[in-house]
Amino acid sequence: LDNDALNEKIQKGRQHSRFQPVRVKRDIDFPTLSALEERLYLLPGVSYDVESKRKYFGPIRASHLFGYCKEISDAQLTRLGQYYRQGDLIGSSGLEWSYETFLRGEKGFEFIAVNSKGQAIGPWENGTRDIDSKEGFDLILGIDAGTQAIAESLMAPYVGALVAMDPKDGSIIAMVSKPDFEPSIFSGVTPTGDWVRLNTDPAKPLFNRATMTRYPPGSTLKMLLALAALQEGVIDENYRITCGGGFRFGRRLFKDLHVHGSTGIIESIQKSCNVFYYQLVLKVGLEKWAAYARRFGFGSPSGIDMSEETAGLIPSGEYYDRVYGKGKWTQGFVVSLGIGQGEVGVSPLQMARYASALANGGIVYQPHAVLSIHSKRTHRLDAVDHPASTVNVDKRWMDMIREGMRRCVMEPGGTASLARIAGIQVAGKTGTAQNPHGEDHAWFVGFAPFEDPKIAVAVMVENQGYGGVKAAPLAGMVMEKYLFGEIRRGFKPQPAAKKDSTKIIAHVR
């Protein structure tokens, strides 16, 4: 540090507390520390301290899930009050941010006597007034390390996100956003070059695509519309249409990829018939469609116990009036919503919760990474409560929709055959989200085993075309790894770049 930089740090430190030590340098190497130790007698008022650092072990990275810490800013220091001081590390994203008060522990205090010049002369009252520091809590997570590791490896070549949940309680089994970052970069002093690189990279590696992006879901949203139509009595189980490969509305032709002929509800999901849903959304109506979307948690934050997330967008008549003007939009806007296109926007996390609710029969759990909080001082383990709601759909309708998803994966003519897992029944639905800026985005949502679901998955891969080709096999392999401990289909995932990783239990800094 030159004199100007040193004086600036000291002055900033004194603004907050003139009697607290001011940290002027972090991560001093051993030769520098040895030289300092030899000369401390010439440097009254100068001392050094030893602090703990994050150490990353194991096969996983989970950088967006765990998050990172960085040195507290002046604005945070002013806002957060007396606990922090200049130079402290504070959680800035992910679980590090949301559980900061649990992870940080409690500071200890050492009282030092000083002379009239403010120079330390020894412990005050022989240290009898000192206060010991207290360790923070451990967070016990629902993350399955093996599943997380394989998901990271599978997603490494792509830009996108994968979220896997336990449909029985909403706990996160795996969460991947690619590209990601090396978490150890933030465990000490972050080199300026690394910070600039991460912030200027056009691929945005610091951005959590699992929770903060908003994509059209494509055909993966068709099950929601079918459930709304059945539950509201708009159609019954015998309802059929004849698909001729397109649907004309006004002067516009809304196309399908195939001519499906006579198509019922189950086949419409299995074969992803667009014409079926172009017509159905007009029968159900915009407001009822939006209401059922909100029942599944779309259009609002999920409440996951980590850093920021998007609410997504579920358009309504009020929304279109506000954006386009009253009377200046048509039902043509609504037709596209029937196949998950248009102005509807969802996050991969929201889609994983949707898949989970379809898997368990209609319970919408709040997604969460933390199962319990453990105190090492008292050995007490406190479970964390998370709210849930229900979509209130009759079981017979839910069973019909689930059967369509099973056939989508398991039966000939289904669009998601690449998600199959040998020996069990898998249910799912592919989606291809139109992208005006390039190749379409590939989606898949699903769960397994069909009879007793233990994992629900949502995969979104940017600019990779059809969901059945790219997203479905990724989801199938992740589910296979979780259920059987290995991928048995002979697929070898592409190796990711060499990296450290973060352990499942996060300890106090």
Mean pLDDT of 188-208: 75
Please give the pLDDT value at position 202: 84
Q: pLDDT by residue (tens digit) across 288-313?
A: 999 999 999 999 999 999 878 999 99
Between 92 and 170, the higher pLDDT residue? 170
Q: In the chain, pLDDT over 70 holds for what percent of residues? A: 88
Q: DSSP letters along 108-166, please? A: -B--EEE-TTS-EEEEGGGGTT-B--B--PEEEE---HHHHHHHHHHHTTSSEEEEEE-
Residues spanned by the domain of 271: 145-484
> At 471, which helix (H) or strand (E)?
helix 471-484
Q: Is 417 domain-assigned? A: yes
Q: How does strand 120-123 pair with strand 363-365? A: unpaired
Q: pLDDT by residue (tens digit) across 120-145?
A: 777 887 888 888 778 888 899 999 99
How would residue 15 be classed by pLDDT, with cut points 50, 70 and 90?
low
Mean pLDDT of the chain: 86
Please give the pLDDT value at position 316: 96
Phi/psi of residue 452, each to 5°? -145, 80
pTM of the predicted structure, to 2 decimals: 0.85
Q: Is 129 domain-assigned? A: no
Q: Is 56 domain-assigned? A: no
Highest mean pLDDT among 17-31, 54-68, 171-185: 171-185
Between 505 and 310, the higher pLDDT residue? 310
Count of C-beta atoms within a 10 Å radius of residue 496: 16
Residue 438's alpha-carbon distances to 340, 345, 484, in angstroms, are 18, 17, 37
Mean pLDDT of 266-283: 97
Total domain count, the chain: 1
Cis? peptide before 315, omega within 30° of 0: no
Phi/psi of residue 459, each to 5°? -130, 135
Q: Is 371 domain-assigned? A: yes
Q: Is the pLDDT of residue 49 over 80?
A: no
Q: Is the pLDDT of residue 507 over 50?
A: no
Q: Which two tokens stand for residue 290?
A: 């939006």
Q: Is 119 domain-assigned? A: no
Q: Is the pLDDT of residue 332 over 80?
A: yes
Distance CA 509, CA 502 (A): 14
Residue 305's domain is classified under what CATH number? 3.40.710.10
Q: Is 15 domain-assigned? A: no
Q: Is 507 domain-assigned? A: no
Q: pLDDT by residue (tens digit) across 391-400?
A: 999 999 999 9
Distance CA 147, CA 167 (A): 16
Q: Is 63 domain-assigned? A: no
Please give the pLDDT value at position 496: 36
